Structure formats: C-alpha cells, structure tokens
A and B are shown apart, each in its own frame.
Chain A
Amino acid sequence: MTDSTTAPAASAASTQRTPSTRTAKTLAEKVWDAHLVKRGEDGAPDLIYIDLHLVHEVTSPQAFDGLRAEGRPVRRPDLTIATEDHNTPTVDIDKPIADITSRTQIETLRRNAAEFGIRLHPLGDAEQGIVHVVGPQLGLTQPGITVVCGDSHTSTHGAFGAMAFGIGTSEVEHVLATQTLPLTPFKTMAITVEGTLKPGVTAKDVILAVIAKIGTNGGQGYVLEYRGSAIRALSMEGRMTICNMSIEAGARAGMVAPDDTTFAYLKGRPHAPKGEQWDQAVAYWRTLASDDDAVFDAEVFLDADELEPFVTWGTNPGQGVTLAGAVPDPASMADPQQRASAERALEYMDLAPGTPMKDIRVDAVFMGSCTNSRIEDLRAFASIVKGRRKADGVRVMVVPGSARVRLEAEAEGLDKVFTDFGAEWRFAGCSMCLGMNPDQLAPGERCASTSNRNFEGRQGKGGRTHLVSPLVAAATAIRGTLSSPSDVASEVLV
C-alpha cells in the first residue's frame, strides 16, 4: 500500500447521492449526517461512526484473527457486545455441545471476548439470546444511533429509528479496529402503510405483502422508512418484525421514526439513559423524524385495510400470496426470469399450480427466530393454542428469542400453555431458522415457520418452508394445514 495513491473521481455511472445538498432531511439522512466522521471526496465513500457493534460466534472468529495478525486492539470494547446464538443448542444447554465444530466456534468467541475485553453473554446467561433480541431488550438499541452486526437481520434495530445494517466479516474486523465504516450513502424509500389492520393481520403479514409488492430486489441500495398510521399503531415488537425483513426486500436497512411507543419501550431498560440524560435524549430523539418536506428517492403505498394473512408458496420471501389464495401458475407469469424461478420453486416445494394454500399440509411448525420470537410473539401464539391440542403428526417447536424472553414467558405461564398444547418448549437461539444447530427439517419435510427465509435448504437440506405470522403458525399447528386464526376461532375447544 502506498500513501501516494488517491481515490478516483466518481464515475458518471455512479448511483451515489449526496444527501447534504438537501435542506429538508429524511430520518435516515439525519442519522447518517450525525455520524459523519469524514465526507468522502472524489467518489470515495463517507466514513461513518458506529455507536453499537453486536458480535456473535459465526461471523467474528476470522475478524479477531485479523486483528491479532496485525497487532490491533479493539478500539471501543465499551461499544461492543457479544452473545452466542447461531449454533447454540436449544435443549440440554447444561451439557457440553455435542457438535465439535459448533463447540469450537463458541469456545473461540469466549476466548476472543476475554482476550479483547468484550462483554459476552454466553449460553446459560440470563441475557443470552439472538443478538437482535438482546440489543433492544437491554436498552442498548436506541433512536438515532448506528448499529452493525455480522448478520443481515441487523436491520431489526431500525425499528427504534436507528440506522442498523448487516456487514461481512471483513467489516466486522474494520469496526472492531476503527469503530467506523467506509460507506456510500444509501438512497431512501418511503413505505407508507395507511389504515387499520384487520383482526388476525399482523406486522409479519404487512412485511410479507411489502416484499411481494416490491420484490426481493426492490429495496436494493435503499434504506426503507416505514411510515403511516398502520405503522404508528404497531408495538415495538411489530416494528422490529417489519424492519427485520427489510433485507428480504434487498434493502440494507429499514427504519421507523421514534415516537412515544419507542420511548415507553426504552424507559427503565438497563442501558437506557437515566434522569436528566433521559430528557436530553428524548428531546434529541424527537427531532429525528423525517421533515415534512423531505424528499424520498422512491415511494410505495399500501392500504392496511385490504391486507390479509400472508404466506409464501415459493423459495424466496417475495413468492407469497394471501392465505385465502392459491399456488400461482408459472405459465401465467409474463417475465421469463420470474416464470423460471417460480417453476423451480414449485418443483422444490412439491406444489402444483392452483392448489389452495389452505389445503397444504405441514409436518412441522417453527415458532421462533429474530423475526418473531419476542414476548409479544409468544403471547400471540399462546392466545390461539391455549387450551387446545396440536394436530396429530405435526412437530411444533417454540424457541424464545432470548433467555430473558424465556423467563418472562415462564413467569406468565406460557410454557405450560405450549407444553399442554403438545409443543416443544426450548431454550433461546436462532435454531431452525437456519439450522446451524441440530434443529433442522428432514429432506422433504414441510414447515410453517415464523422465520424470515424460505430459501432452498435453509431449514435443513431438502426442507420446505412456508413463512407465516405467529398467529398463522398457531392456527396451522392446530389444524395441520396452513390456516388463518379465523379458521380456528369458531372451533370448539377440545
């Protein structure tokens, strides 16, 4: 590397935009500008300060190795926190991890955290859990901050009005060493959802409908800002579910402007500001909402009143229909790429065009993942299954997002509701969302899953995934076929 080299001038084809030329700003632009260490010149990216770095065992070992090789310390251990989630077991957590490679990865994280002075919540700790559940519940995720993690679902934290996005391992090393990232400004897209959601229609259905509308690459290069009365009416858990799946629309980040719902959720949490600092923080947080005359690079509108429970039929999150609908016919698709993709998806999913979604029988129901494993999600699932028995032959797994959520659920007696129903009540982790631990589907098995990706082989080689909300997962677990909450509401309890 030579010091004499200089970055090239921006090419005419560059899509880079310069937010500073606008006086009225969006939420995303305000957070970006507040973290600008250095404005990039001549086509070079901006240097952005990172307020919070979340670390887990899968994408960090090689980053710590890189630091060691260069003799570099972690610049800000006090802005870094680690937890174990991706391949932790969700049963027998008091026993040594059976899988040797999983154990090595966990042990490597423990060694790295100790060596570099990073706070770690290991398996068995009350604050252990999925990294995107842990940050918010500790009050570390706050409005207006920048959050990164070596995990694409970091977009979850945008629900608080933070700018939060997933990064690769090289970038993890970069943030550990410098607490900054060189980044090219994102474009902004407003996704406005006005109206009132019908009973039984939830945040998960909203985001699946958004992805079906704009496509799995529709958000590419954008930060999505979710707005409108239907978003304002959502709880923080619901907003997290929506922001979580922004990456499934191709976007790096999703955001919701902070409001009283946000502040009420944060107040009193272990790392929320206290006393006078709380007032200062809230005063600042209230300035973050997009200015009325701010201009977005793209806008999308959805009518909340028209939304229905949504479910995927294919192998990407954009391949979804309403639960009352049917498997589409690829032959009716005009775009050849879309048609080919749908044909391959139906072959993998073993589904015939025209099959009503509600006729599809499942082998398993997975209730968990960083998308839907917070206490509110577990309460929603419990509200449907309480006092009932699961369908014969269907395996039902309930995996809380964190050890803290598990404790909360048990304090409310939800564990009893789940086990009486016939479900497995497990310990916290990513579990069957990505099947890095033993929680996997067998080849050919079909699962209604509250997770975020229905990719081929994601939940286990040959496994078939239908993405659903917790309410739809619950109704499906009762009937054994994809079902909406209204399908079971009128049934007599067993």
Chain B
Amino acid sequence: MEPFTTHTGVAVPLQRSAVDTDQIIPAVYLKRVTKTGFDDALFAHLRQQPDFVLNRPEYVRGSILVAGPDFGTGSSREHAVWALRDYGFRAVFSPRFGDIFRGNSGKQGLLTGVIPEPEIERVWRALAAQPGIEATVDLEAQTLALPGLAVPFEIDAYTRWRLLEGLDDIGLTLRDETRITEFEAGREAWRPTTLPIGTP
C-alpha cells in the first residue's frame, strides 16, 4: 500500500446526508471479479441526475470528497471504496461514517477524516464560493486546507499510523503467527468445523 502523507486536489461538496454504500455503488455493479475498474460505477444512479455534483465540469477531476453525515452506512461492500478510489478520490470527509466502510477505507489507502457538521458546512460554503478549487489534506497535521480556511479532522491513531507508513494488514498479523498457532492448540474439541461434512 502506498503511504499517505499529503494530498492536493479538487474538493467536491457532496451536500447529502446518509449516503449509504448502495448509493455509492449499486448492487448491479458488484458482479465483477476484479479489484479495479469501478470508476464508472461510482454513484451510478445519482450521476444520472444532470445536476449531481460530479456532473459539473469543475468537479469532474475531484479527489477529495466533503460529504454530509452518515457517509458509507449499510452494506459491507468494499466495492464502495474501490469505486471512490478508481474514480480518483484519495480522501473523504464527513461528520460520521459507517463503521464497516471506514474500516475498509483504511485498508485501501482511502483516508476517512471526521469533521464536525458546522465545519463541514463552512467547507461547503467555501467551495460554493469558488467551485473547483484545490484543497490539501495533510495527514501528519490532520488538517484539510483550502485557500483562507484550514479545518482539523479526526482519525484514529492506529489507522493514521498505518496510512502514513503504508502498512499491509496481513503482513502485520503474520508477525504474530506463533501466537495464532498457540491459540489454536488451546481451542476446545467441540467447537464447530465445516470439514468433514457433518451428519445429523
């Protein structure tokens, strides 16, 4: 995973609350067996509305999404993260995220920063005044900066560390493989196994 330190790009105001993962990527797009190429599926239904924010020319190259509360709730589909990433987004900000979505994002290098609602609205106002301006996300300093406005964001310390270092989760866990093996040795014999196939 590529480390994340700072990123500068076009900030997109998504002035909606409760954008669930069904809206981020509708289920019909989940049939692919690859991990990339989901950019066309991002907000597929919403993008059919001509006035949707990503249909405005100044936001087409957006890479920082500034959303309302409860972004990424609902289905566990990691495709939501892949679609955002494939479109070009590197960071999403919201007052509240769905738990599974936030976990998935960290593993794919997509930064999810929590910014309280009044501050999100200030950012929206700044973006409305100058549509298409660039913003800078600084993970070290935990700030989202626009010309004349810098707002701090929250991110849990562990995810921040992993993003900064670009660390792979499985590799980290396998450092503890001896402990996993020890744990397995102590499991009770009656715990269920799927093999061999059971009979009543």
Are A108 and B33 touching (Cβ within 8 A)? yes
Are A435 and B100 touching (Cβ within 8 A)? no
A221 to B97, CA, bound (A): 11
Are A456 and B23 touching (Cβ within 8 A)? yes
Known: A182-B172, A461-B26. A104 touches B31 (CB 8 A): yes
Are A51 and B192 touching (Cβ within 8 A)? yes
A248 to B165, CA, bound (A): 34
A271 to B196, CA, bound (A): 10
**What residues on A are CB-neighbors of B169 within 8 Å?**
170, 174, 182
Contact with B along A169-205 (1 / 0, CB 8 A): 1110110011110101000000000000000000000
**What residues on B are CB-neighbors of A167 within 8 Å?**
76, 100, 103
A168 to B173, CA, bound (A): 17
Are A152 and B74 touching (Cβ within 8 A)? yes
A458 to B175, CA, bound (A): 41
A184 to B167, CA, bound (A): 17
Are A457 and B176 touching (Cβ within 8 A)? no
User: At the interface, yes or no: B134 with Cβ under 8 Å from chain A?
Assistant: no
Give chain B's interface secondary structure class. Answer: loop
Contact with B along A111-144 (1 / 0, CB 8 A): 0000000010000000000000000001110100
From B58-66, B122-130, B183-191, give the one contacting chain A. Answer: B183-191
CB-contact partner of A170 in B73, B98, B108, B174, under 8 A? B108
Are A14 and B157 touching (Cβ within 8 A)? yes
User: At the interface, yes or no: B104 with Cβ under 8 Å from chain A?
Assistant: yes
Are A101 and B22 touching (Cβ within 8 A)? no
User: At the interface, yes or no: B156 with Cβ under 8 Å from chain A?
Assistant: yes
Q: How many residues of B contact A (CB 8 A)?
A: 72
Residues in B9-52 with C-beta less than 8 Å from chain A: 16-18, 20, 22-23, 26-28, 30-35, 45
* Closest chain A CB from B109 CB (angstroms): 11
**What residues on B are CB-neighbors of A180 within 8 Å?**
173, 180
CB-contact partner of A79 in B96, B158, B172, B194, under 8 A? B194
User: At the interface, yes or no: B138 with Cβ under 8 Å from chain A?
Assistant: no
A394 to B180, CA, bound (A): 55
* Closest chain A CB from B194 CB (angstroms): 4
Known: A182-B172, A269-B200. A119 touches B188 (CB 8 A): no
A80 to B193, CA, bound (A): 8
**What residues on A are CB-neighbors of B74 within 8 Å?**
152, 247-248, 453, 455
**What residues on B are CB-neighbors of A119 within 8 Å?**
194-195, 197
A75 to B173, CA, bound (A): 13
Are B20 and A316 touching (Cβ within 8 A)? yes
Contact with B along A243-256 (1 / 0, CB 8 A): 00001101010000
**What residues on A are CB-neighbors of B76 within 8 Å?**
59, 150-152, 166-168
User: At the interface, yes or no: A273 with Cβ under 8 Å from chain B?
Assistant: yes
**What residues on B are CB-neighbors of A179 within 8 Å?**
180, 184
Residues in A453-486 with C-beta less than 8 Å from chain B: 453, 455-458, 461
Known: A61-B33, A458-B22. A170 touches B194 (CB 8 A): no
Are B26 and A457 touching (Cβ within 8 A)? yes
User: At the interface, yes or no: A37 with Cβ under 8 Å from chain B?
Assistant: yes
A268 to B200, CA, bound (A): 5
Are A456 and B45 touching (Cβ within 8 A)? yes
CB-contact partner of B188 in A37, A105, A271, A280, under 8 A? A280
Are A139 and B198 touching (Cβ within 8 A)? yes
Are A250 and B192 touching (Cβ within 8 A)? no
Are B69 and A337 touching (Cβ within 8 A)? yes
Listed residue (A37, A102, A108, A179) with the most chain B CB atoms within 10 angstroms of its CB: A37
Known contacts A119-B194, A316-B20; 20 further A-B pairs (Cβ under 8 A): A2-B165, A10-B157, A38-B176, A49-B184, A65-B34, A80-B194, A86-B27, A105-B31, A140-B192, A150-B76, A152-B74, A168-B104, A174-B173, A216-B70, A217-B73, A252-B100, A456-B45, A457-B45, A458-B22, A461-B26
Chain A residues within 8 Å of B, Cβ to Cβ? 1-3, 5, 7-11, 13-14, 16, 37-38, 43-45, 47, 49, 51-52, 58-59, 61-62, 65-66, 70, 72, 75, 77-81, 86-87, 99, 101-102, 104-105, 108, 119, 138-140, 142, 145, 150-152, 166-171, 173-174, 177-180, 182, 184, 216-217, 220-221, 247-248, 250, 252, 268-273, 277-278, 280-281, 284, 316, 337, 340-341, 344, 434-436, 453, 455-458, 461
Chain B residues within 8 Å of A, Cβ to Cβ? 16-18, 20, 22-23, 26-28, 30-35, 45, 68-70, 73-79, 81, 96, 98-100, 103-104, 107-108, 117, 154, 156-158, 160-161, 165-177, 179-180, 183-184, 187-195, 197-200
Q: Supply 12 A–B pairs (Cβ within 8 Å), ascending by A.
A: A5-B161, A7-B161, A37-B183, A49-B183, A142-B191, A150-B76, A152-B74, A270-B199, A273-B190, A337-B17, A435-B28, A456-B22
